[in-house]
Chains A and B, each alone.
Chain A
Amino acid sequence: MSLISVRDLVVRIGDRVIASVPELDVAAGECVAIVGESGSGKTTTLLSTLGLVHGADVSGRITVGDVDVLTASPARLRDIRGSRAALVMQSPQAALNPTMRLGTLMRRALARHGVKGADARERAEEGVRAVLLDPEILRRYPHQVSGGQAQRFAIALALALGAQVVLADEPTSALDVTVQAEVVAVLRRLRDERGLAVLLVSHDLALVSTIADRVVVMRDGAVVESGPAAEVFTRPRDPYTRELIAAVPALPDAGPALPDAGPALPERAEGS
């Protein structure tokens, strides 16, 4: 059974369609990636799954678990935000209130969803350990943690709240490469070990290829291709997908390995 199911989603501002997705399902233990260039409607699609698109007409049918997002009351929507599906944002430190210790933030988020006292403390520490952070981090303020730690904390928060789906909006684009790998490794581990589902939005195909099970390619608000990741990357059907893949400097298993990278660099510079 899918945790998130989207059918015939159309998001409009005035007459302009900014996202149109006929079908999208995310099941437990699965990572689905939405890829595409800026303005392709991928973030809009992501946000609409929690009813967070404002100032636009949203039609179709979106369900998160047993909740129909488009007809649910604002209070019901607030209840499922975080506890069913939690968002992990692009710039991790900006997503943390600088006046609050991480532990306070965690405690308040848990209290908001009905978990209090010793139980909350336990879940907070358990969540933090699951993303390989020291629970000591709960005593720190956001400016005292690194970007990678902040991003892993955001994932820990989702886990502590009991979210089965993590909605990750460009979760690594504000981080440097080694830290990106760290965050991706954590997401993969949680997917494999706990059956966490990930709905990932990214324009970083190299990242997507390392984690996604299925890929949805969007352009100008429409889905141009979707299917299993391996298939989309090795045998792209749509010309736009081929273009996207060609635009990637080096997919992990494509292009020359490091020792040969020297002579290859000038060629790439000419090509870009």
Chain B
Amino acid sequence: MTAPALPVFRRTPLRRLAGVDRLAVAGAVLLGIVVLAALLAPWIAPYPEDGGSATHPLEALLPPSGAHWFGTDQVGRDVLSRVLFGARTSLLIAVAVLAVSGVAGVILGVVAGYAGGWARDVIMRVTDIFLAFPALLLSLALAVVLQPSVTTVIVAIAVTWWPWYARLTASVASSVATRGFVDSARCLGVPAPLIVLRHVLPNSLTPVLVQLSLDGGGVILTAAALSYLGLGAHEPTSEWGLMVQQGQSLFTTDWWVVTFPGLAILVTAFSFNVLGEGLRARLSR
């Protein structure tokens, strides 16, 4: 008797997409639009020079119209152009912070998790010290000490951000380190650094990747907060937090100056969050 052939299901790109939560797809699409806007800002912005220091005093505070879809700000710059250029600043900050803190946190975490013993104790206690500070206050203190700039924002946020990844990676890595394939690598004579690199690290990354995508929104919000407080990006850089700060006093009379950059922050942070949530749901299956 021969068993009937079972139908073979191949994972085509389409099926893969259908398996993903629709909200996550929406997040990815929104984020994709923001990324495209950032990349193409100099070409798609209606008034590219308004992304910088150009001023047009005669056109100040015009409401949204065909010529200026998002209106103009106090010095006559096109708000749409500045929102598009602002996407570059915000995404640059998000990517830089996540890269720096992610790499630092993962390296420290995986070493702590695999090595255990005193190495783990030292790394985790330092991590705890950083976690003991309220994150925004530590970022603020750093930003005050350093010169206000985009680089300052990146450093100030990254310093408070890495301990989360270190702790997450350490806990995952220490459980991965007890799994059979790590033992079997040891039994094949693989030296410890290679075990960490090839066996522990790749199997510890998933939760960190999910956390990184969830945190993108948080970084953008924090960066906006620092710029809003005058500690981050400064004129004439296009930055959403800075634009909100400059426009807030005008909200009752010229609502568009503050609303559009505010919406940009909202949409970007939201798209990071739903994308991260979708990744988590998918990868934890």
Q: Which residues of A contact B (CB under 8 A)?
A: 50, 52, 77-83, 86-87, 89-91, 94-100, 108-109, 112-113, 154, 157, 161
Contacts and interface: CB of A to CB of B under 8 A. Distances in A.
Given A97-B181, A108-B198, A50 B188 contact: no
B180 interface: yes
A62 to B, nearest CB: 15
B181 A109 contact: no
Interface string B184-202: 1111111100100011001
Contacts of B183: 89, 95
B110 to A, nearest CB: 14
A86 B187 contact: yes
16 contacts: A79-B189, A82-B187, A82-B188, A82-B189, A89-B187, A94-B179, A94-B181, A95-B181, A95-B184, A96-B181, A97-B181, A97-B198, A99-B203, A109-B190, A157-B188, A161-B188
B256 to A, nearest CB: 50
A99 B180 CA distance: 14
Contacts of A52: 186-187
A81 B189 CA distance: 5
Given A112-B189, A112-B190, A89 B203 contact: no
A86 B202 contact: no
A100 B188 CA distance: 16
Contacts of B189: 77-83, 112-113
Contacts of B179: 94
B187 A50 contact: yes
Which size class do B's interface residues fall under?
10 to 19
Contacts of A80: 189
B187 A97 contact: no
Contact of A97 (B186, B191, B199): B199
Given A97-B199, A109-B190, 16 more contacts: A79-B189, A82-B188, A86-B188, A87-B187, A94-B180, A95-B180, A95-B184, A97-B181, A97-B198, A97-B202, A99-B202, A100-B198, A100-B202, A112-B190, A112-B194, A157-B188
A90 B199 CA distance: 19
Contacts of B187: 50, 52, 81-82, 86-87, 89
A133 to B, nearest CB: 18
B114 to A, nearest CB: 14
A100 B184 CA distance: 14
Contacts of B199: 97
Interface in B64-111: none
B169 to A, nearest CB: 16
Contact of B191 (A78, A99, A109): A78
A86 B186 CA distance: 11
B175 to A, nearest CB: 13
Nearest to B200: A97
The residue among B181, B183, B202 with the most chain A CB atoms within 10 A of its own CB is B181
Nearest to B181: A97
Interface in B179-231: 179-181, 183-191, 194, 198-199, 202-203
B113 to A, nearest CB: 16
Contacts of B194: 112
A82 B191 CA distance: 13
Q: Name the 6 nearest CB pairs between A and B, nearest first.
A: A94-B180, A78-B189, A81-B189, A82-B188, A87-B187, A95-B180
B184 to A, nearest CB: 4
Nearest to A50: B187
A112 B190 CA distance: 7
Nearest to A85: B187
Contacts of A100: 198, 202
Contacts of B191: 78
A80 B189 CA distance: 7
A104 to B, nearest CB: 9
Nearest to B179: A94
Nearest to B182: A97
B190 A97 contact: no
Contacts of A97: 181, 185, 198-199, 202-203
Nearest to A81: B189
A11 to B, nearest CB: 17
Contacts of A87: 184, 187
The residue among B181, B189, B199 with the most chain A CB atoms within 10 A of its own CB is B189
Contacts of B184: 87, 89, 95-96, 154
A112 B192 CA distance: 13
The residue among B179, B184, B190, B198 with the most chain A CB atoms within 10 A of its own CB is B184
Contacts of A78: 189-191
B130 to A, nearest CB: 30
A112 B188 contact: yes
Contacts of A112: 188-190, 194
Nearest to B188: A82
A126 B179 CA distance: 28
